[in-house]
Chain A
Amino acid sequence: ETGVTQSPTHLIKTRGQQVTLRCSSQSGHNTVSWYQQALGQGPQFIFQYYREEENGRGNFPPRFSGLQFPNYSSELNVNALELDDSALYLCASRSHRDKTYEQYFGPGTRLTVT
């Protein structure tokens, strides 16, 4: 167990709806990244938060947005859901003070869009 927790475990939404996913980072970790993992694929980087600001983003449209809170927990919001948004959403945390690039992943939230 990494200490990174995510909620909910899974959920089902309808196309066009909005969804919020939550992540609690490992103790002492102040940087959170979000990834999307489609079935049979590797995780794709969505964005990263440090000090409550987005400081890196992958090739995802603006309807993917996030927040980081003072306790380093984080949210991923997706608006106007599309069928292709169905995937496992992973958050990963690390300590910005660490000299290594090791990131630790949570168990993920499985989103199904119908």
Chain B
Amino acid sequence: QKEVEQDPGPLSVPEGAIVSLNCTYSNSAFQYFMWYRQYSRKGPELLMYTYSSGNKEDGRFTAQVDKSSKYISLFIRDSQPSDSATYLCAMSWAGTYKYIFGTGTRLKVLA
């Protein structure tokens, strides 16, 4: 079993839809949770960073962490074609700066 599981997609939605992206994990030591967006042949871009459980909102993006279920989510409201990319979740724990990444979910927002 991988430490971090993420559905690879692809996930296709119409423009304006609410998108839900998810990751599950098995390591209860994870405390830091990140979402990155990666366009084709580019480096990952940090979207959201969350420490421990709870919600965090930034513009059209909301990140949720449920440590009791070992489950994290990223919601994108009013999705745009420019949101079409691969979304990577990443996790880390205290005392290390090593990130464990999911495989990424490919998202396509159709105009």
Within the complex, the shortest CB–CB distance from B63 to chain A, in Å, comes to: 13
Within the complex, the shortest CB–CB distance from B86 to chain A, in Å, comes to: 9
Q: Of the listed stretches A14-22, A65-73, A79-87, A94-102, name the one at the interface; the rest are far from the partner chain.
A: A94-102
Within the complex, the shortest CB–CB distance from A71 to chain B, in Å, comes to: 20
Interface string of A44-57 (1 = CB under 8 A from B): 11001000000010
Within the complex, the shortest CB–CB distance from B75 to chain A, in Å, comes to: 20
CB of B54 closer than 8 Å to a CB of A: no
Decide: A101 and B92 in contact? CB cutoff 8 A: yes
Partner pick for B43 among A33, A40, A102, A106, CB 8 A cutoff: A106
How many residues belonging to B are interface residues under a CB distance threshold of 8 Å? Answer: 26
Partner pick for B97 among A4, A44, A94, A105, CB 8 A cutoff: A94
- Supposing A40-B8, A103-B46, A108-B43 touch, asked if A56 and B103 sit within 8 A by C-beta, the answer is no
- B68 contacts across to A, CB distance below 8 A: none
- A102 contacts across to B, CB distance below 8 A: 34, 46, 49
- A28 contacts across to B, CB distance below 8 A: none
